[in-house]
């Protein structure tokens, strides 16, 4: 089916060279009706004859002068060393009046500077219609018979927009490429050649060289016979056209030689690590390379770390009414973040168990790898971090990509504000819309130089290093207007390098994982009521960190058991840090049947098994002092409130409006969809529960509270999981859109939910 439905862009297109790229481009132009006429030039007469017989061409010849007349676009698809001779023929056609002087000329070669130089030699000055281009596409087979009209669909095409080129020529060529399904980007010629030397030309050269090396061995037959998949994958490109690559290697000589020299340095480094049997350094190099391979793919596409199968997914949930069992919840996200940060800054080795392998925590892990920290794993929640000390971080060569993790960005802002080097923090589309001045502004009072983006003060964040600023950060006393663990932690972490003491005063208690973990790593922290202080200049010492199960993730299953019928669920070894147990306190106020057992401490954090049973929930006015202690759990608490008898009122929770989504508005929208009466306020929500009182206090959660419907999660993981829990009291199927972000905090949520009795079908949209 044609990709383009617009009228023809050109009157006559002339394709010079009917190899794979030229013939595929011609076929795509023909199939999409992008030119009134299509002609071609190729010295291989059978290709021309077949193309005419197939109806691809209106005319063709081995001689350009025979078919070129009247063409308003010329596509040069010949080996790079032959382009100058083609320019000579084109100039002759212009001089003879066969072509307009402003006809559009483009090429498909993988080098650009030499194309421009050749045009200068032939034409004297660059023609206004010259638009050098390079489609990043190809196939193992070559020639006319390998052509595919779909070759360029979803592939990048680089256009070099020259100052001498007319805007019309650029616009028409861009439209042509987009009309055959390509993604068009602009790049200057020198940068193009340098990038392609590293990403295309060097790999081809290495593949040719490796095959030549093995073929020269006396036992080459055995080598090739027993070669594994890795060899075949790596050397597949050595089957490419030797003449074409001969020309490319010479045409891009300077950039390729530079890339080879750099590669030689890295190869020599690896050789020495193997000779020295330097296990830590070699593991770090291999780990960084493996992670970078995944990371840059996700970064460029803004896709998740933990699931590459789908950009968007949905849940289709069939109502069920009972849950039961004993389950383990994944590791705490907040503690996982901090274990990476402090372990990297510590002296010595830190071993982490229970690490949450969700996208947010993996973003933090990757950031420290980008700054030179050797991290082994994660492997089933186990990590080994080889700390570099307080002053051992190195500048990242690229912006640090935080994915969708606000915790990563805000806490790292404090660390990076104190480093000697400049940094840039960026994230996916969602994160780049979230407010960052709440950390940037107080950091500036310490002397940090931070530039946020736009009038809303969002990411990307540009942070100037202390070498440029000229002096270290200065300790400060900051009175937080709103309780926030992220703001508090950001300032405390910056204070580790500041001159003097940094004190944060919080209006309400907020989660204290940073203070606890700093103490676990041997850094003195002073806590006096709501005043928390650190003095700069200390050190961190590596050790063992056990990450308990995440109470925020456990909250979904706590509510699930409480609102369903004949249910009992035990969640093992969940963190019950008193600054995080607001969800338990609120549920108990709502008459939930919750008990704790096997209480102990793990890695400085209190943990316990939590058992929750079916309950007759009642509506309450939620005490404002509990709001900061349950800020992440309110979406699922709204589900509990909907099932309760009477009204539930939440106030003092304006913070919910600046999470991954406006959680007050989005939850209210979804609750209305499912038939719940609720009223949005500036800082909270009023929910009219549909629970019914029973005689003798017996629990009867068998009647539906929610209807069915389509929920838009706005790609907020907690919204998606909360409405999943609502299915336990729904009368009809619930569909939730945009659930791929669940992996940010709870990989495996749907599978675990199904294990205890829910019925969630995940639709990835994959064919």
Catalytic machinery residues: 632
Task: Say if strands 449-453 and 458-464 run parallel, antiparallel, or are unpaired.
Answer: antiparallel
Q: How many CA atoms lie within 13 A of 615 on its CB side?
A: 25
Helices (H), 590-739: 634-643, 663-673, 717-726
In the Cβ-directed half-sphere of 723, how many Cα atoms lie within 13 Å? 38
Q: What's the gap between Cα 243 and its chain centre? A: 39
Quick check: 633 and 552 in contact, CB under 8 A? yes
Structure tokens at 56: 């691809």
- For 348, residues 6+ apart whose C-beta sits below 8 A from its C-beta are 387, 541, 542, 543
User: Are 32 and 39 within 8 A, CB to CB?
Assistant: no
* Interatomic CA distance for residues 592 and 725, integer angstroms: 16
Task: Enter the DSSP assignment of 198.
Answer: I
- Are 721 and 556 contacting, i.e. CB atoms less than 8 angstroms apart? yes
Burial class (CB in 10 A: 0-12, 13-18, 19+), 637: buried
Q: Is the dihedral of CA 303, 307, 308, 314 positive or negative?
A: negative
* Dihedral sign of CA atoms 402, 404, 405, 409 in order: positive
Strand 501-505 relative to strand 458-464: parallel, antiparallel, unpaired?
Answer: unpaired
E strand or H helix at 492, and its extent?
A: helix 485-495
Tokens 């802002």 — which residue? 413
Q: What are phi and psi of 708, to 5 degrees?
A: -110, 180
How many Å from the N-terminal Cα to the C-terminal Cα in the chain? 18
- Within 13 A of 158's CA, how many CA atoms are on the CB side? 17
Edge-to-edge order in the sheet of strand 593-602: 324-328, 568-575, 605-613, 593-602
CA distance 766 to 295: 22
The span from the CA of 380 to the CA of 358, in Å, is: 12
> Quick count: other Cβ atoms within 10 Å of Cβ 613?
18
C-beta of residue 355 within 8 angstroms of C-beta of residue 341: no
- Tally Cβ neighbours within 10 Å of residue 132: 27
The C-alpha atoms of residue 498 and residue 247 are separated, in whole angstroms, by: 57
From the list 374, 385, 370, the residue with the least C-alpha distance to 336 is 385
Q: Where do the H-state alpha helices sit in 8-142? A: 20-31, 45-53, 64-67, 83-95, 113-123
């Amino acid at each position: 089916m044609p990709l383009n439905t617009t009228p023809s862009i050109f009157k006559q297109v002339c394709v010079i060279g009917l190899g794979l790229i030229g013939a595929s481009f011609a076929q795509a132009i023909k199939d999409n009706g992008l030119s009134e006429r299509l002609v071609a030039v190729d010295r291989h007469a059978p290709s021309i004859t077949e193309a005419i017989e197939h109806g691809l061409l209106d005319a063709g010849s081995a001689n350009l002068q025979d078919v070129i007349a009247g063409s308003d676009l010329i596509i040069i698809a010949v080996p790079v060393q032959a382009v100058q001779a083609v320019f000579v023929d084109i100039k002759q056609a212009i001089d003879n009046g066969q072509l307009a002087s402003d006809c559009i000329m483009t090429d498909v070669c993988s080098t650009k500077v030499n194309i421009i130089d050749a045009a200068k030699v032939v034409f004297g000055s660059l023609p206004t219609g010259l638009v050098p281009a390079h489609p990043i596409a190809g196939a193992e087979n070559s020639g006319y018979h390998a052509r595919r009209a779909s070759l360029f669909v979803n592939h990048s095409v680089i256009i070099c927009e020259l100052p001498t080129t007319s805007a019309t020529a650029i616009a028409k060529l861009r439209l042509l490429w987009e009309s055959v399904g390509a993604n068009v980007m602009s790049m200057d010629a020198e940068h193009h050649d340098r990038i392609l030397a590293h990403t295309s030309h060097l790999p081809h050269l290495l593949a040719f060289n490796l095959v030549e090396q093995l073929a020269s061995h006396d036992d080459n037959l055995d080598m090739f016979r027993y070669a594994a998949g890795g060899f075949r994958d790596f050397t597949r490109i050595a089957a490419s056209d030797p003449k074409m690559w001969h020309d490319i290697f010479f045409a891009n000589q300077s950039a390729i030689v530079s890339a080879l020299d750099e590669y030689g340095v890295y190869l020599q480094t690896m050789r020495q690590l193997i000779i020295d049997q330097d296990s830590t350094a070699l593991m770090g190099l291999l780990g960084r390379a493996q992670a970078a391979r995944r990371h840059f793919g996700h970064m460029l596409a803004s896709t998740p770390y933990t699931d590459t199968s789908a950009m968007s997914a949905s849940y289709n949930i069939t109502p069920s009414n009972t849950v039961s069992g004993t389950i383990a919840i994944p590791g705490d996200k907040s503690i996982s973040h901090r274990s990476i940060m402090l372990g990297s800054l510590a002296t010595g080795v830190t071993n982490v168990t229970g690490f949450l392998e969700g996208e947010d925590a993996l973003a933090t892990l990757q950031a420290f790898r980008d700054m030179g920290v050797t991290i082994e794993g994660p492997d089933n929640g186990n990590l080994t971090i080889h700390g570099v000390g307080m002053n051992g971080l190195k500048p990242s060569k690229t912006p640090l990509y935080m994915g969708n993790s606000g915790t990563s960005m805000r806490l790292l802002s404090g660390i990076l504000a104190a480093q000697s080097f400049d940094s840039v923090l960026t994230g996916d589309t969602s994160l780049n819309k979230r407010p960052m001045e709440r950390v940037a502004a107080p950091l500036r009072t310490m002397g940090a130089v931070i530039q946020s983006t736009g009038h809303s003060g969002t990411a990307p964040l540009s942070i100037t290093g202390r070498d440029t600023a000229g002096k270290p950060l200065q300790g400060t006393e900051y009175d937080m207007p709103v309780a926030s663990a992220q703001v508090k932690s950001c300032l405390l972490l910056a204070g580790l390098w500041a001159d003097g003491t940094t004190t944060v005063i919080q209006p309400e208690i907020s989660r204290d994982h940073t203070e606890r973990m700093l103490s676990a790593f041997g850094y003195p922290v002073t806590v006096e009521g709501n005043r928390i202080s650190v003095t700069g200049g200390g050190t961190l010492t590596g050790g063992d960190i056990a990450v308990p199960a995440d109470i925020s993730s456990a909250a979904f299953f706590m509510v699930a058991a409480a609102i369903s019928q004949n249910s009992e669920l035990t969640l093992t070894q969940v963190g019950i840090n008193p600054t995080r147990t607001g969800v338990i306190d609120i549920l108990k106020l709502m008459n939930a049947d919750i008990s704790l057992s096997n209480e102990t401490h793990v890695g400085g954090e209190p943990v316990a098994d939590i058992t929750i049973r079916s309950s007759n929930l009642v509506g309450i006015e939620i005490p404002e002092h509990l709001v900061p202690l349950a800020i992440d759990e309110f979406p699922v608490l709204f589900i509990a409130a909907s099932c309760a008898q009477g009204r539930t009122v939440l106030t003092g929770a304006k913070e919910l409006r600046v999470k991954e989504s406006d959680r007050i508005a989005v939850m209210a929208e979804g609750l209305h969809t499912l038939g719940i009466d609720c009223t949005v306020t500036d800082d909270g929500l009023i929910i009219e529960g549909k629970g019914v009182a029973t005689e003798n206090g017996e629990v009867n959660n068998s009647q539906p509270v929610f209807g069915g419907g389509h929920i838009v999660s706005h790609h907020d993981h907690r919204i998606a999981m909360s409405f999943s829990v609502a299915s336990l009291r729904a009368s009809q199927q619930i569909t939730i859109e945009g659930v791929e972000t669940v992996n940010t905090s709870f990989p495996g949520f749907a599978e675990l939910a199904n294990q205890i009795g829910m019925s969630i079908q995940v639709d990835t949209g994959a064919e």
